[in-house]
């Protein structure tokens, strides 16, 4: 039997993405409280994500939303990693308030954002181990958050994944409009 890499690449990328999801799930979390949500976006849902990003560009005028919207269409899949709002009760002051009880409405617990960052790092380390192309995108994450694809998450990041001869997520031309 001869199995050409081109014939199994799609399935391999999806398998690696699932491994990235497990790495995000098992990443250390503050006080052992798991408030991370992880999902995988493929095919037509990538197009929905891209269209949402284009709508957001129309609203905010930030050109990188338009660039990233086109860019994720080059991905085989996109891993979403987010966190729900949760007060850790550490009174650590990282949010800018001395006590958790003093935080104003809408100010997130900084520790939950650290947790999502560690989960992203764990997922990206798996991607690096398998040499797939990725880039962490807050623009696509924000669009996924708007779509409410990670139920209840107030901070979402996206990691598009590709396996090609050149990483399509770097050295990207800026959009001119």
Does residue 85 fall inside a structural domain?
yes
**Res 165: pLDDT:** 87
Does residue 1 fall inside a structural domain?
no
Q: How many domains does the chain have?
A: 1
Does residue 176 fall inside a structural domain?
no
Q: Is the per-residue pLDDT at 133 higher than 70?
A: yes
For 54-70, the pLDDT digits (tens) are: 999 999 999 999 999 99
Does residue 167 fall inside a structural domain?
no
Does residue 109 fall inside a structural domain?
yes
Does residue 140 fall inside a structural domain?
yes
Please give the sequence-ordered ranges of beta strands (E in DSSP) within 20-175, or none if there are none.
36-42, 77-84, 133-134, 153-162
Does residue 93 fall inside a structural domain?
yes
pTM of this structure:
0.92
pLDDT, average across residues 5-19: 95
Phi-psi region of 34 (alpha: psi -120 to 50; beta: other; left: phi over 0): beta
Per DSSP, the three-state class of 134 is strand
The residue range of the domain holding 73 is: 39-162
Q: What are phi and psi of 127, to 5 degrees?
A: -60, -40
**Res 17: pLDDT:** 98
């Amino acid at each position: 039997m001869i199995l050409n890499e081109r014939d199994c690449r799609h399935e391999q990328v999806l398998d690696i993405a699932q491994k990235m999801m497990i790495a995000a799930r098992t990443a250390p979390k503050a006080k052992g409280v798991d408030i991370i949500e992880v999902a995988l976006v493929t095919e037509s849902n990538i197009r929905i994500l891209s269209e949402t990003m284009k709508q957001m560009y129309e609203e905010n005028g930030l050109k990188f939303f338009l660039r990233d919207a086109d860019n994720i269409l080059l991905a085989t899949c996109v891993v979403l990693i987010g966190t729900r709002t949760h007060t850790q009760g550490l009174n650590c002051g990282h949010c800018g308030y001395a006590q958790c009880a003093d935080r104003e409405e809408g100010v997130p617990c900084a520790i939950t954002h650290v947790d999502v960052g560690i989960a992203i790092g764990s997922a990206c380390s798996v991607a690096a181990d398998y040499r797939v192309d990725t880039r962490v995108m807050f623009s696509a994450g924000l669009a996924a958050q708007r779509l409410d694809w990670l139920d209840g998450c107030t901070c979402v990041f996206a990691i598009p994944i590709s396996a090609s001869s050149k990483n399509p997520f770097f050295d990207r031309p800026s959009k001119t409009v």
